[in-house]
């Protein structure tokens, strides 16, 4: 969801790839402008339903990485946010050893996420809270995972270099957040 106090305008949908062809059939990408700020809301594919879907995810994230580079060298501030369906580091998942062969925590997916950050994106929540376990943003609906805080951090707000100086704070609203969802809201404050 995209909300704005300064008004917003839609720039586009999709990521202009061979898979997507800008039609965005899955509704995965919404690029909006909020004054001078670009905001790209994104829902990366989940590969857990089988090898075919995992292959689709892997092609999609490579295409997205190439597409997202347009914001890296821009003087205009940009945020890349949403459910990226990858827990980047061991601190981002409650049981890393038990999930090494699970889509969303596969070694090559985590290396891809490092490449994404190395390309020039900044993980605002991790910058704000520093290293350490959690906070998680998603929990399975099974096994009392939310109650026991056995989650994954798969929701992110990433900033390009132009947006980084605007950053004030970030937090996950685990308690009192949207309990109707298996995700918790990730809130980022910017000095606009």
Residues annotated catalytic, as ranges: 43, 83
State the Cα–Cα distance between residues 2 and 141, nearest whole angstrom.
Answer: 25
State the Cα–Cα distance between residues 141 and 76, nearest whole angstrom.
Answer: 39
Torsion sign across C-alpha atoms 5, 123, 67, 26: negative
* Radius of gyration of the chain measured on its C-alpha atoms: 16
| Contact assessment for residue 82 and residue 43, using Cβ atoms and an 8 Å cutoff | yes
Question: What would the two tokens of residue 48 be?
Answer: 């857990």
| Contact assessment for residue 151 and residue 139, using Cβ atoms and an 8 Å cutoff | yes
Kindly report the backbone phi and psi dihedral angles of residue 125, in degrees, each rounded to the nearest multiple of 5, phi listed first.
-65, -45
């Amino acid at each position: 969801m995209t909300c704005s106090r300064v008004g917003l305008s839609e720039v586009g949908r999709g990521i202009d790839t061979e898979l997507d062809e800008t039609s965005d059939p899955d509704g995965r990408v919404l690029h909006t402008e909020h004054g001078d700020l670009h905001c790209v809301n994104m829902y990366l594919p989940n590969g857990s339903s089988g090898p075919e879907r995992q292959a689709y995810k892997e092609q999609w994230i490579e295409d997205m990485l190439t597409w997202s580079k347009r914001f890296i060298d821009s003087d205009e501030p940009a945020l890349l946010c949403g459910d990226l369906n990858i827990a980047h580091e061991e601190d981002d998942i409650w049981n890393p050893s038990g999930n090494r062969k699970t889509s969303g925590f596969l070694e090559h997916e985590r290396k891809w996420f490092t490449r994404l950050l190395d390309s020039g994106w900044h993980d605002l929540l991790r910058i704000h809270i520093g290293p350490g376990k959690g906070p998680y943003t998603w929990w399975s609906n099974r096994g009392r995972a939310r109650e026991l805080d056995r989650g994954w951090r798969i929701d992110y707000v990433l900033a390009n270099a132009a947006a980084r100086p605007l950053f004030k704070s970030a937090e996950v609203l685990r308690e009192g957040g949207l309990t109707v969802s298996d995700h918790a809201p990730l809130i980022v404050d910017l000095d606009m």
